Every structure is written in structure tokens, then in C-alpha cells.
């Protein structure tokens, strides 16, 4: 993939201090398209479909919101806690504004918390679904595909 003007602008918007204090790239110094290409390759190797992953994450986010900030058990397989901060975040691709909703999903093993967790946001879902962007390595809200597969039982 090559860096289109849209991706050049998005990468600029992902820098620390532009949209968020820490940005979207963490300590990953690779170009945006290389980060995306690598994660797309990881998804293929893991046998994961983007639609399946995003659908499961969206489902768990919605179920978690029913707890109004308190942890809820979903389908006997996960403990989900969501919280919402005031305000909104624009997409670094300048294609929408998203609520500041965070979801923490922990898988259960034999009915007990496993310690295996996944943290993501409303904006994360959009970026993964539309751009296959999981955020850069070292980013606080990076969704690692292998970790997602394990936690979400995919």
C-alpha cells in the first residue's frame, strides 16, 4: 500500500498532541501504511476476519454499557466494564467524531477471570473496521490481533 494524501494527513493527525496527548502511534516509528500492512498480515495468519472481530468487539461494548460503569458478565465468557468520559474524539482520518467510550474485556476460564484482557474504544472499532488500523505498537489503546483472538475466543 502506498501513502495517499489521506493517509499522510491521518498520520500527521496521529502524532502526540494533535488529537490526543499521546497520539495513536505509541513508540512505533514505521509509516502508517506499514503498520496497517503488518496487522493485515497478522489477521490472515491468525485466520481472523475483520468483520468477525469488529462485530464481536461491538457486541461486547454494547453489552458492557448495560452495566452503567459496573462490570457485567457476558454470555458466561467475559467480564466487560465500560466507562465514558465527557467529550468526543475526532478520527485522525477526519471522517467522524466519536464518543470517548472505553471497554475493558476480560475472558473467563472455568467461570473465573483469566487475567487476559483487551482494552478498546468506540474510535478503535471505527479505525479497525474502516482502515484496518489497530494503532501503533506501544499505544495505550492498541488492539493486538493475537491478543484479541485469544481474549475474544475467535
17-41 pLDDT, tens digit per residue, is 999 999 999 999 999 999 999 999 9
**Sign of the four-CA dihedral 114, 116, 121, 127:** negative
Identify the residue whose cell numbers are 466487560. 80
How confident is the model over 122-135, as a mean pLDDT?
Answer: 96
> The C-alpha cell of 143 is what?
488492539
Using only the alpha carbons of the chain, give its radius of gyration: 15
Q: What is the pLDDT of residue 68?
A: 87
Identify the residue whose cell numbers are 468526543. 88
Q: Give the orientation angle of helix 122-131 with respect to helix 50-65, to 10 degrees.
A: 170
Q: Residue 9: which H helix or E strand, with range?
A: helix 5-13
Rounded to an integer, what distance in angstroms lies between the CA atom of residue 139 and that of residue 121?
Answer: 13
Domain that residue 61 falls in = 5-151
Q: What is the pLDDT of residue 1?
A: 67
How confident is the model over 97-120, as a mean pLDDT?
Answer: 95
Identify the residue whose cell numbers are 501504511. 33
Residue 103 has pLDDT above 80, yes or no: yes
Q: The sheet that has 72-74: what strands, in order across it?
A: 72-74, 78-90, 97-109, 112-121
Confidence of residue 49 (pLDDT cuts 50, 70, 90): very high
Mention every residue, 6+ apart, whose C-beta is less than 8 A from residue 117: 104, 105, 106, 107, 151
Strand 78-90, strand 72-74: pairing: antiparallel
Helices (H), the chain: 5-13, 32-46, 50-65, 122-131, 145-151
Domain count, the chain: 1
How confident is the model over 78-100, as a mean pLDDT?
Answer: 93
Q: What is the pLDDT of residue 69?
A: 86
Residue 2 has pLDDT above 80, yes or no: no
Amino acid at each position: 500500500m502506498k501513502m495517499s494524501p489521506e493517509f499522510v494527513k491521518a498520520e500527521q493527525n496521529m502524532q502526540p498532541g494533535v488529537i490526543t496527548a499521546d497520539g495513536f502511534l505509541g513508540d512505533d516509528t514505521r509509516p502508517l501504511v506499514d503498520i496497517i500492512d503488518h496487522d493485515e498480515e497478522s489477521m490472515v495468519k491468525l485466520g481472523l476476519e475483520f468483520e468477525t472481530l469488529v462485530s464481536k468487539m461491538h457486541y461486547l461494548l454494547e453489552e458492557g454499557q448495560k452495566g452503567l460503569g459496573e462490570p457485567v458478565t457476558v454470555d458466561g465468557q467475559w467480564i466487560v466494564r465500560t466507562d465514558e468520559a465527557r467529550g468526543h474524539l475526532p478520527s485522525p482520518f477526519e471522517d467522524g467524531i466519536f464518543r470517548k467510550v472505553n471497554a475493558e474485556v476480560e475472558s473467563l476460564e472455568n467461570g473465573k477471570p483469566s487475567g487476559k484482557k483487551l482494552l478498546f474504544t468506540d474510535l478503535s472499532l471505527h479505525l479497525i473496521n474502516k482502515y484496518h488500523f489497530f494503532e501503533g505498537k506501544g499505544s495505550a489503546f492498541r488492539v493486538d490481533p493475537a491478543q484479541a483472538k485469544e481474549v475474544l475466543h475467535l
